[in-house]
Structure 1
């Protein structure tokens, strides 16, 4: 015995909502892709930073804050 299935019509036929992406939803991935592509093309510019990176200081500060 089979049960009837109820399918919903596509949004376009019901006068659905027009969904638009904000400008940054496309700009940020494109920017990241271009930066990574430039690093691949010129790896001499992709050297490691000297000294401790700033993120290490932030993580240490967060660890001390949580330990209190």
Structure 2
């Protein structure tokens, strides 16, 4: 019985450009999660703190404190 010959795989692809195809959900899900988190941060909720400072103001204050260190 003759043995089958296996051709070695090339080390680099034949085309020089990257041909990467992503499924639609690989782009849609992270974009949807980013939009949902952005809405949670930007949109004021029903319950406010006693000081009345919005979540956006708190976020900006924390970012400013981190950047000025």
TM-score range, shorter chain: 0.3 to 0.5
Larger C-alpha radius of gyration, 1 or 2?
2
What TM-score comes out, normalization by structure 2 length?
Answer: 0.41
| Structure holding more helix per residue | 1
TM-score by length of 1: 0.41
RCO (CA 8 Å, sep 6+): is it higher in 1 or 2?
A: 2
